[in-house]
Amino acid sequence: MENFDCVVIGGGMVGAASALSLAQLGLKVAVVEKFPAKAFSASQALDLRVSAISLASQHLLTQLGCWPQIRQWRCCPYKRLGVWESDTSYVEFNAQEINEENLGHIIENRIIQLSLWQQISNHVGITLYCPESLQHIEQHEDYSLINLSTSQLKAKLIIGADGANSFVRAQAGIGITGWDYNQSAMLINVETALTQQDITWQQFLTSGPVAFLPLPGESDLGGYASLVWYDSKEKINQLSAMSNKQLQQAVIAHFPKRLGSINVIDKAAFPLTRRHANTYQNHRIILVGDAAHTINPLAGQGVNLGFKDVKALQTTIADAIASGKSWHDPIVLKGYEKLRRADNLLMMSTMDALYATFSHPSILVKTARNTAFMALNKLPFLNNTVKSKALAYACGL
């Protein structure tokens, strides 16, 4: 049996970032992950799973030493964000409004994970157990036993970063509240006639929004992009059954003309759900990322909230160490949830409000939301205050 300060269950983006951030404090950390990350090659096709990484997340990845590698591999910065329902209510947010070079980067999830794993492999304070899986957790007064499929670990703190269906959360006896939305989402990677753009946009339709995320690289047609199509579960199931050629025609008919000509490369679909853990902590077990909260992906804030969790946990433990407290004391660890729960709940509720507002069929509601969009563009006071504050919040600043 090997002893650790922290054992992180889950080696995805948030779990790997958690391990690195705590190892930076001088703690001895283990990471347990079922599946090894596939090595990167520039010739590989773009993955379907991408994230819009905020400026705050970029700062964390820079602190963890990952950002230069991500930039060297591939990512796509964007400076503008366009949102509209009708053409008369178009609103555009620009990085210049918050005095930044860009608003964020669109990056494949696997690229982020691989860059973190590269740092983990070079860190003497981190041991990676992969492929390996959690079987059972035994919590004791001052430590926990982590039973894996082939070994047993002892730790002062366990971090559950094992996703929305977290086994750590179940082992800790932490319940969840939430619901399934009446929609699903389809991810579609396409070649575009337009070359790489500096804008990501989203149009709200009665059936659900459609979104465009620019991707890096040059294709035979022009550039690449990730499209997100939100619609009823039945409609998404129909789209999933189509050939790429049939889906291409459906996209052209459904998406705005500004998309231009496309070729469909790949596709996948998933249901939309909201889950929020009733607590982020049970004794010496902490939940981060999707294990603690899953959010409607309308604004692409899921992984950014997870990275905020990572930073808050590092801050909580660092402050305890600096003040001479027992950093793994359950009372100290409660400070992490105090830092994160309200912010996560605010973002989740905001996304739910947007979802409810734009899915409401009433003509009065539609008129009100379009009037609000037009006001943002035409009233200087609103433009300079509401837009810039909303933008800074979305960027994590």
Per-residue model confidence (pLDDT) at position 110: 95
Whole-number Å distance between alpha carbons of 293 and 277: 6
Per-residue model confidence (pLDDT) at position 179: 84
Per-residue model confidence (pLDDT) at position 359: 59
Per-residue model confidence (pLDDT) at position 111: 96
**DSSP, res 38:** P
Per-residue model confidence (pLDDT) at position 91: 87
Per-residue model confidence (pLDDT) at position 207: 87
Fold classified for 2-76+104-178+274-358: FAD/NAD(P)-binding domain (3.50.50)
Low-confidence stretches of the chain (pLDDT beneath 70): 298-300, 355-391, 393-394, 397
Per-residue model confidence (pLDDT) at position 206: 83
Query: Dihedral (C-alpha) 149, 152, 158, 164: value to the nearest 10 degrees?
Result: 0
Per-residue model confidence (pLDDT) at position 29: 98
Per-residue model confidence (pLDDT) at position 288: 98
Per-residue model confidence (pLDDT) at position 350: 80
Per-residue model confidence (pLDDT) at position 196: 85
Per-residue model confidence (pLDDT) at position 139: 93
How far from 180 is each of 304, 347, 373, CA to CA, in Å? Answer: 21, 17, 28
Per-residue model confidence (pLDDT) at position 30: 98
Query: Dihedral (C-alpha) 327, 330, 336, 342: value to the nearest 10 degrees?
Result: -160
Q: Tell me which residue of 126, 257, 240 sits closest to 188, measured CA to CA.
A: 240
Whole-number Å distance between alpha carbons of 209 and 229: 7
Per-residue model confidence (pLDDT) at position 366: 53
From the centroid of its chain, how far is CA 142?
Answer: 33
Per-residue model confidence (pLDDT) at position 316: 98
Look at residue 223 and give its three-state secondary structure. strand
Per-residue model confidence (pLDDT) at position 270: 92
Please state, rounded to an integer, the average pLDDT across all residues of the chain: 90
On whether the CB atoms of residues 50 and 106 are closer than 8 A, the answer is yes
